[in-house]
Every structure is written in C-alpha cells, then in structure tokens.
Structure 1
Amino acid sequence: MPDSAPVQIIQVIINFVASMQYNTFRQAEGVPVATTFATNHIRQIGIGLAREVKYRHTGNRSHREELFVHLYMLLFFFAGASLGSLFGHWMGGRSIWLTLIPLVVVFAALLKADLGEEKNRMEQKPTGH
C-alpha cells in the first residue's frame, strides 16, 4: 500500500491477518499461547515466576518449559517491534518489504515440513486446536 493510502484500509488488513494468526497458531512447542498478544506473555511470565518461587525448595521444575516459551515469545516480539520502529523511521513505508526476509524463511521451513516429514500427517488435526 502506498503511504498515501487511507489508514482504515491498512487497519482492516492488519486486523484480518492478526485474526488469522490468532486462530492458526494456538501453541508453540506444545505450550498454549496467544501469539498476537504481548500482554498474555507478560502475564504468563509472571505466573511462571510465581511458580518458580513457590516450588524453589521442592525441586519441581515442570513449569520452566512454559515459562521460557513465553519469555522467548515476548523477547522476539520486543525485538521485532524495535527493529520495525528503527527501520520504519529510517526507510518509511518501504520498511514493510524487510518483513519478506523472515516470511520467506518461515514459508520455506513450513513447505519443507509439509512435503517431507509431515507429509503423512496432513489430515491430522493439530493438538491444541
């Protein structure tokens, strides 16, 4: 979209893509997540830290995997937002083209998985949905 495009058109496109992301990616590494909401990750990190304090003397570490998944999600969200802000300031609306780099990498990885090791699981419903 050109920089002169109405903001409402761009907002509708962003809302549509966010709703598709929310309904498609419901878990990461077996941990339920809402990938479109950074506030959810902040809350889950707080819960994980509270469990860390609660179980510090028991040796129970089962909550750590979920804590780290949410921590990584939040860190990558922050990194993406920071880089997007920097490149947006530097390049303006053309900075959107930089998003093609990670999107092509992810598309290639998903395509490889669909054609390779997950080919026989195409009809299987993913867990967590």
Structure 2
Amino acid sequence: SGSMGSNTVHARDCFAELVEVANGPCSLTVFESQAASLGEAFTTAAAMRAARLPPQGGTNITAGLETALETVLRREEAEAAPPRGGSTHHVLVLLSDGAHTVGPRPEQRLPALGQELRERAPA
C-alpha cells in the first residue's frame, strides 16, 4: 500500500534473503489496489532484489492472496505433469502494514479460495 513507502523495498529485500535458503524457485506477489506477480522463478536474492516495484495505492489483501494462490496452483499443475510428478511444499507469507481498504474483504473470500485450492491441488 502507499503507506508502506520505502518499507516496501526493505520487505522485498528481506524476502530476497529467503530465496537463498529455499530449495526451489520462489515467487513474489505485491499488492496495493491491485495485485501483480513480479516473478515466479527467482533462484537468487539478487534476482529478486532487481524486481521493479510498482507504484503503490490502497491495500487489497484479497487480490494479493488470489494472485499468490494462482501462482501456487500453476506451479502445482506444472509439477504434476510428467516427467516430474513430484510435489513441492509451498509457503505463502503475507506482509501488510495496515488494514484491507480496497476490494472484497479477505475473510469473505478466503473460504472459497481454500476450497478451490483443495480441489485443484489436493494433498
């Protein structure tokens, strides 16, 4: 959101450090009034730090969650196809400095998102 200011850069850089300890590619989704994936295959901290951050506006937590979950589902579908057929442990970290201000309320949308995730990527 706009209130994050330069903290957005600090947050991205902190998450970039996690790329170095992950055992597979990492993605980065940012959200303000809308959400955007800045990349789905970061393998180094430097690559994630190089991602350009978009202008900031409101706080649409729901859009951020929806976009991040779509990334997870795409990765699951790609990994399920031969020759891989393996599975990855996905971790979603939500970081926001404030209240949801734009779009559908997350607590109203989360049950449906959870159901969709269970249907499309069963454990």
* Structure with higher strand content: 2
User: What TM-score does the superposition give when structure 1 sets the normalisation length?
Assistant: 0.29
* Structure with higher helix content: 1
Which entry has the higher C-alpha Rg, 1 or 2? 1
Higher RCO (CA 8 Å, separation ≥ 6 residues) = 2
